Each structure stands twice: as structure tokens, then as C-alpha cells.
Amino acid sequence: MEFFYASRDGQSRKIATHIADRLAERGIVARPVDLAEGQPEPAQLAQAPLVVAVLAVRYGRHLPEAVAFIDTFRKLKNPPPLALASVNLTARKPGKDTAEGSAYLRKLISGNGLKPVLATAFAGRLNYPSYGFLDRHIIRFIMLLTGGPTDLTTVVEYTDWNKVDAFAEQIAKLCEPVATEAPSPSGAPPTVAPS
């Protein structure tokens, strides 16, 4: 498995690390790699049995390193299965935390011709005190428009960790060995293909 994340304020990294920890509990080794530190080679992605990506949104768009990653992935001739999560503050609202309900995730999937095997949106974290002056006021304006908190001392983690755990469980199931259909010639039980 190849596992990547794009994060600006650390919440996508925190979510990716949480998923990796849950996978480790199931004996699945997955080290999340920060896309800001470099993009994977197409051959690396093409050979993966599964690709997982946790990608943050800022100001209504996925981060540039996330977009570059998706561009590389979508150009693969035979892309591996993709588990995709978008992290944004809009997902704090009911119905906006699904692949169908998240406008950002829908646009990312349809605009790039993706067919993820898993796709979801997670709510992020609002932390006004940690933002620079410009970010603080732009995010405050967005919160004003979307009915969110505008007090500049507000710190709220909206991430539903039970939902993150469920996503990790779905990824783990995708990593499980699959029994072959036909029994072996000796009549022994079906063999298990390595994951």
C-alpha cells in the first residue's frame, strides 16, 4: 500500500497518522507520506496494490500538492484501487461529509475521472489563533458565510474520529488476502493470494 496526505495546518496529517495507527493494530504497515515533501513517481503508484490519500482543502480548493498527486494518479494507464478522503471544514455539516455531499470531493473525483473504491470527507479543525493575519480573516469571512464560528479565539476540532476509524476499517478490509475461487487440484481448501 502507498499512503499519502496533504496538510496545511496539520489536521490531515493527524487523520492520516490515526488511520495508519488503526491499520497497524491489524498488522498492516502503512507509513503516510507528506506530499509537500515530494511527489511519488508514476511507477511507484502503478505498482501499489492500493493507494490511500488524505487531502486537505484550503479556501475551497484542494492543496496544490494534492492536485499534483491526483494529476499523476489519473494519468496512470492501469491505476490501482484508490481510497480517497477530503478534509475540509464544510464537512462539519450533516450531509457534507460524504462523497456525494461534499462539493470539493465530487469536483475532485469527476473533474479527474477518478473511480475510487472508497471516498469520504472528514471535517477538519478550526484554530483561529494558529493562523496568520490574512488566513485568520479569510477563514473568518468563510465561516461567516457558512454559519460557522467567527470569534477569533475559537479552536474547534470537528473531526469525527469514529468515522475515521470506520474508514481505516474499510481500508483494512481492502488489504485482506482474497481466497481464490477454485479449489486446488488435490481437493485442499482454496489458496490465499498474498496482499
> Could you please report the per-residue DSSP string of 16-64?
HHHHHHHHHHTT-----EEGGG-PPPHHHHHT-S-EEEEEEEETTEE-H
Q: How far apart are CA 80 and CA 95, in angstroms?
A: 28
* Single-letter amino acid code for the residue at 41: E
Q: What is the pLDDT of residues 25-75, one digit of tens each?
A: 999 999 999 999 999 999 999 999 999 999 999 988 999 999 999 999 999
Q: What is the pLDDT of residues 108-146, one digit of tens each?
A: 999 999 999 999 999 999 999 999 999 999 999 989 988
Residue 188 lies in a domain: no
The CATH number of the domain holding residue 101 is 3.40.50.360
Residue 132 lies in a domain: no
Beta bridge partners of 69: none
**Lowest mean pLDDT: which of 3-17, 46-60, 121-135, 181-195?**
181-195
The residues, any chain, with a CB within 8 Å of residue 84's CB and separated by 6 or more, are: 52, 53, 55, 105, 108, 109, 114, 116, 118, 119, 120
* Single-letter amino acid code for the residue at 150: T
pLDDT value of residue 193: 37
Grid cell listed for 55: 487531502
Q: How far is CA 143 from the centre of its chain?
A: 23
Beta bridge partners of 181: none
Confidence (pTM)? 0.86
| Residue 102: pLDDT over 80 | yes
Residue 82 lies in a domain: yes
Residue-range definition of the domain harbouring residue 69: 2-124+159-177
Task: Name the domain count of the chain.
Answer: 1
**Taking every pair of C-alpha atoms in the chain, what is the biggest distance, in angstroms?**
71
Residue 186 lies in a domain: no
pLDDT value of residue 177: 66
**Length reported for the chain:** 195
Beta bridge partners of 88: 123
pLDDT value of residue 88: 94
